């Protein structure tokens, strides 16, 4: 355990940069004087004899772990506001860059989870193909930012939704939604 002297003004940043990603990754954190969660028994598998190829892992354990990771990531992503763009633009704002950085942190902590990056463009005047093209560009920009943050490209699927699924305000309709694939 490391004892870091933190002033109250730095404690929030420390929690956001260190504690939250660790908690999202499922790492148990211990605080002095605070009791931890009860121990959970882990099923033990039979050892494999030398020279014998192992059989497929027990599907309940593997599927349960994957499902839990997917649910944990889905819950974490639902708390991140979607990146929103200016009208007729596919350039990330500072607020959108921060949202993408939070998504990258969640995905980095869960390397087995793939996501879908869907761009929307419901307030662009003109033909539907213009909105479709802009929504594809927005999805690609967010995916590129995630790749630049260290997320493998093969974990990302991009799609442009054009002017489908508009929200209550034009600004909210210029969004990119990131969901567990």
Residues 75, 80, 85, 91, Cα dihedral to 10°: -100
pLDDT above 60 (res 6): no
pLDDT above 70 (res 127): yes
Among residues 158, 99, 165, 97, the alpha carbon closest in space to that of 131 is found at 165
Among residues 136, 157, 160, 162, the alpha carbon closest in space to that of 147 is found at 157
Pair 174, 131: CB distance under 8 Å: no
For the stretch 113-125, pLDDT in tens is 999 999 998 877 7
The mean pLDDT of 53-68, rounded to a whole number, is 51
Pair 159, 139: CB distance under 8 Å: yes
In this predicted structure, what is the pLDDT of residue 76? 93
Question: In sequence order, what are the residues at sequence separation of 6 or more whose Cβ sits closer than 8 angstroms to the Cβ of residue 77?
Answer: 103, 106, 115, 178, 179, 180
Question: What pTM value is reported for the model?
Answer: 0.63
**First CA to last CA across the chain, in angstroms?**
36
pLDDT above 80 (res 93): yes
What is d(CA 77, CA 179) in angstroms, rounded to the nearest whole number? 7
The mean pLDDT of 25-53, rounded to a whole number, is 46
pLDDT above 50 (res 68): yes
pLDDT above 50 (res 80): yes
Among residues 96, 170, 88, the alpha carbon closest in space to that of 131 is found at 88
The mean pLDDT of 71-78, rounded to a whole number, is 93
What is d(CA 77, CA 99) in angstroms, rounded to the nearest whole number? 10
Q: Given pLDDT bands bounded at 50, 70 and 90, which one contains residue 64? A: low
Q: Which residue has the higher pLDDT, 118 or 22?
A: 118
In this predicted structure, what is the pLDDT of residue 9? 46
Q: Which residue has the higher pLDDT, 110 or 1?
A: 110
- Domains assigned to the chain: 62-181 (3.30.1330.60)
pLDDT above 50 (res 37): no
Residue 20 Cα to chain centre, angstroms: 13
**How much is the mean pLDDT over the chain?**
75
Percent of the chain's residues with pLDDT above 70: 65
């Amino acid at each position: 355990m490391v004892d870091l002297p933190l002033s109250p003004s730095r404690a929030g940043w420390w929690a956001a940069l260190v504690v939250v990603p660790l908690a999202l990754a499922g790492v148990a954190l211990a605080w002095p004087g605070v009791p931890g969660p009860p121990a959970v028994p882990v099923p033990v598998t039979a050892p494999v004899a030398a020279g014998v190829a192992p059989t497929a892992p027990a599907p309940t354990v593997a599927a349960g772990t994957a499902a839990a990771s997917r649910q944990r990531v889905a819950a974490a992503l639902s708390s991140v506001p979607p990146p929103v763009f200016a009208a007729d633009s596919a350039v990330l704002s500072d607020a959108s860059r921060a949202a993408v950085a939070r998504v990258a942190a969640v995905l980095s902590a869960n390397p087995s989870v793939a996501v879908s990056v869907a761009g929307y463009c419901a307030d662009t005047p003109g033909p539907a193909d213009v909105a479709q093209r802009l929504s594809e560009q927005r999805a690609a920009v967010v995916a590129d930012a995630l790749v630049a943050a260290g997320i493998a490209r093969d974990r990302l699927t991009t799609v442009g939704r054009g002017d489908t699924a508009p929200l209550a305000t034009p600004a909210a309709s210029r969004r990119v939604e990131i969901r567990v694939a």
